[in-house]
Amino acid sequence: MRPIALTMGDPAGIGGELTLRAWLALRGRGQTLVALDDPERLAALARTLGLDVPIRLVNRAADATSIFADALPVLPVRLAEPAIHGKPNPANAAAIVASIERAAALCLTGETGAMVTNPINKAALYQAGFHYPGHTEFLAALTGAAGQQIMMLVSPHLRVVPVTVHASLRASIAMLTTKMIVDAARTTAAALGRDFGLATPRLAIAGLNPHAGEQGALGDEETTLIQPAINTLRAEGIDVTGPWPPDTMFTPAARQRYDVAICMYHDQALIPLKTLDMDHGVNVTLGLPIARTSPDHGTAYDIAGKGVADPSSLIAAIALAADLARSRNG
């Protein structure tokens, strides 16, 4: 099994601690990682937190396999300035971006089986000239899949896909189209078959308005936008139901009736998933030629450097990335 490439994330956040704790948890399990990070900052962080994590520089990702049981392998990406816990520094934006770029390149060449991204702070990157809404769009551009990317959030209890993502609620409603819904559902159905082993995935399409519009009394988007998308998808042989009333589609009984919920905007998807299982949620980018996952949380500046960060979501992201790599590559 090829190693998983793990990016730096924002060095002012909890990503470094998560990386160290993930190695401690995984070193005896068979799956290997290679961190694309600043080795000096990881070593210093391990000392500060009292974590017994030896750091070993490697020249190639493949070298990680032979040393992972004894040390955390690091392909060095140097910071411009020392990281300060809880204080993002635009001077380090170039290193954060370089870590992502190198991980994607390693996946494209097949040197790593998948990539996992530690959390970034988009606002800090914007100050340094980063022009993408987030990881998802940047990775799509890096891998030649711009416009095809779809974000799916996965937990042991629920899978969700938001049709609109990095936009305000007002803007999300304004930009929503039938084509966007169809495209998101097609990509999701294909990925669930290829990467998750679901031959005939069941898709539940959420409504936008309360009670799915109440036959137009509470909004007509279900009739004008969502139902035409459902009709198109059914005609293509995709198993799709809806529009589901958003306030009832996430109950335990309802969740047994579908494999993924296609939601109309960011919070409609992420609130139920994070409420059900914040610690084990994983962000997966569908529609890319590489496998990419990420923990479903942010940089957590308020606890950075305090030794209390929970690596559960990162460990879940690594496990899922390994599963996706096996599904794609055997």
Q: Which amino acid is at 228?
A: P
Residues 6+ apart with CB under 8 A from 119: 9, 10, 13, 14, 15, 294, 295, 297, 298, 299, 300
The C-alpha atoms of residue 78 and residue 82 are separated, in whole angstroms, by 10
Question: pLDDT tens digit string along 110-166?
Answer: 999 999 999 998 888 887 788 888 788 889 999 999 888 899 999 999 999 999 987
Q: How far is CA 281 from the centre of its chain?
A: 9
**Does this chain's domain 1-146+291-330 share its CATH topology with 157-279?**
yes
- Domain boundaries along the sequence of the chain: 1-146+291-330, 157-279
Q: What is the mean pLDDT of residues 54-64?
A: 96
Which one of 105-114, 160-169, 275-284 scores highest in mean pLDDT? 105-114
| CATH topology for the 1-146+291-330 domain | Isopropylmalate Dehydrogenase (3.40.718)
Q: How far is CA 169 from the centre of its chain?
A: 21
Q: How would DSSP label each residue in 178-222?
A: HHHHHHHHHHHHHHHHHHH--SS-EEEEEPSSGGGGTTTTT-SHI
CB neighbour burial string for 72-90, b if at least 16 within 10 angstroms, e if fewer: bbbbebebeeebebbebbb
Which pLDDT belongs to residue 31? 81
Task: Give the pLDDT band (50/70/90) at residue 296.
Answer: confident
Q: How many CA atoms lie within 13 A of 38 on its CB side?
A: 21
In which order are the strands placed within the sheet that holds 260-263?
55-57, 72-76, 33-37, 4-7, 114-116, 292-295, 282-286, 150-154, 159-162, 260-263, 202-206, 239-244
CB atoms inside a 10 Å sphere around CB 323: 16
- Are the beta carbons of 56 and 72 closer than 8 angstroms? yes
Hunting for tokens 């109950």 — which residue is that? 251
Which pLDDT belongs to residue 263? 98
Which pLDDT belongs to residue 109? 96
Task: Give the pLDDT band (50/70/90) at residue 253.
Answer: very high
By CB neighbour count within 10 A (0-12 exposed, 13-18 middle, 19+ buried), where does 254 fall? Answer: middle
- Superfamily of segment(s) 157-279: Isopropylmalate Dehydrogenase (3.40.718.10)
Question: Is the predicted pLDDT of residue 55 greater than 80, yes or no?
Answer: yes
Which pLDDT belongs to residue 160? 98
- Are the beta carbons of 48 and 305 closer than 8 angstroms? yes
Least confident of 69-83, 118-132, 233-247, 284-298: 118-132
Q: What is the mean pLDDT of residues 192-197?
A: 91
First-residue to last-residue Cα distance in the chain:
9
Angle at which helices 178-196 and 312-329 cross, to 10° = 80
Which pLDDT belongs to residue 61? 95
Task: Give the pLDDT band (50/70/90) at residue 85.
Answer: very high
Which pLDDT belongs to residue 127? 78
Which pLDDT belongs to residue 148? 85
Which pLDDT belongs to residue 330? 59
CB atoms inside a 10 Å sphere around CB 152: 25
Helix (H) or strand (E) holding 73: strand 72-76
Closest CA to 195 of 9, 58, 326: 326
The C-alpha atoms of residue 276 and residue 158 are separated, in whole angstroms, by 8
- Are the beta carbons of 116 and 18 closer than 8 angstroms? no
Which pLDDT belongs to residue 152? 96
Closest CA to 300 of 68, 9, 7: 9
User: What is the value of pTM for the model shown?
Assistant: 0.91
Q: What is the mean pLDDT of residues 49-67?
A: 96
